[in-house]
Structure 1
């Protein structure tokens, strides 16, 4: 893997993204609009948004980055772009890491916008430092990007990539601790939730909003980062040039 080739891939992806205003709007504005809708929905119930706003803030960047990354990567493969790129000295690692860098930069901007909107406009109360909430949001979006890259390796069409959501995303939403504290779940479901990375995103967001520090915040962050790296490595290992 070459840093020069990797950065060239990232630059190409960012240039393509800059020519697609709808994708830019979806990446940067949709999470804020959804968070704002949720805050408006519970505007008459004092304290409700403060209780659920943090976990909700963890969902939308993860979901959107998963969808956009998986569909975009699959489109590259189906169009033959990936096959042409792989006929050059470009390696699988260059392609995957380049995509990760490009969408990681987009995820960073998305996280800044979404967290700022949630705190300043929607009034989300955060006991811990706001920058920590932004850092968790960035890791959350990067996790969605990495899992989207991995899912794209097992799909043949864009529709199949979206169909991975009920398998990859929805169980994590249900068991991640949004609807019920994980320690109050039945033992089997609690054990399953311990293997779902979004559970630790919600744990990290909750720790920041509650002002918790130390291992209660560091542990989920380490797990999120580790799962992201593993997903990227597996995505590179399973990447195919074309869909069959």
Structure 2
């Protein structure tokens, strides 16, 4: 794995996405629209104030997971990956290049979503807006890395969607969005402690409410970083040249 090949892969991916307006809209606009819909649904109530930070974790995470996994799988189905690997491009270059490309898009996506939630939808943030942004970016990168991992095992785009109940839905259900985690049955609470989205939701909520120390929030960010790195490493090891 070399920096030049990794950056070349990232540049190629960004060029492809730039010529796909629908994917650009899905990545950059849809999360904000969904957050706006939630805020509109709960106008004149305090509900959005309580669930808004979780929505900043939820929608970018799901969108990045879907787009990254489908885009990576498409490279294998078209034989692009096999051609690339016949040249001096390793699996690590390919996976990390994709991670860098979608990571850059995740930064833009998060900047739009956070700005929209705070300054248009009126989400009140008691803590640092920059810390909130950093956590939201890490959350989007988590969706990207899990998408890369899922694409290594899927053979078709339909199978990617089938992975949603495995990779995404349990994290949504047990992440504290619908019910506080300390009110979950003991076994489910223990499971939620091992799910990475939990740490993103908890950290975003803590910054919004300004009720936890900086050290506690940074510890959550460290857990997210470990999950991101682990998914990228495992994805590069298990990546196959072609589907079939």
Correspondence for 2:227: 227
Correspondence for 1:205: 204
CA distance in 2 between partners of 1:236 and 1:57 (Å): 28
The normalised TM-score by structure 2 is: 0.98
Correspondence for 1:137: 136
Structure 1 unaligned residues grouped into runs of 5+:
none
CA distance in 1 between partners of 2:199 and 2:180 (Å): 12
CA distance in 1 between partners of 2:214 and 2:29 (Å): 32
The normalised TM-score by structure 1 is: 0.98
CA distance in 2 between partners of 1:153 and 1:97 (Å): 13
Cα offset, 1:229, TM superposition:
0.3
Correspondence for 2:82: 83
Cα offset, 1:42, TM superposition:
0.2
Correspondence for 2:63: 64
Are positions 1:119 and 2:144 aligned together?
Answer: no
Corresponding residue SS for 2:153: coil
Corresponding residue SS for 2:84: helix
Q: RMSD value over aligned CA atoms?
A: 0.7
Cα offset, 1:216, TM superposition:
2.3
Q: How does 1:13-92 map to 2 (within 5 A)?
A: 13-45=13-45, 47-92=46-91
Cα offset, 1:183, TM superposition:
1.4
CA distance in 1 between partners of 2:158 and 2:130 (Å): 36
CA distance in 2 between partners of 1:53 and 1:214 (Å): 21
Corresponding residue SS for 1:153: helix
For the 8 Å contact 1:207–1:216, the answer to whether it is kept is no
Cα offset, 1:44, TM superposition:
2.1
CA distance in 1 between partners of 2:139 and 2:12 (Å): 24
Q: How does 1:134-173 map to 2 (within 5 A)?
A: 134-173=133-172
Structure 2 unaligned residues grouped into runs of 5+:
none
Deviations 1:122-164 (A, max 9, x none): 0000001111111111100100000000000111101101110
CA distance in 2 between partners of 1:149 and 1:155 (Å): 10
For the 8 Å contact 1:204–1:220, the answer to whether it is kept is yes
Correspondence for 2:243: 243
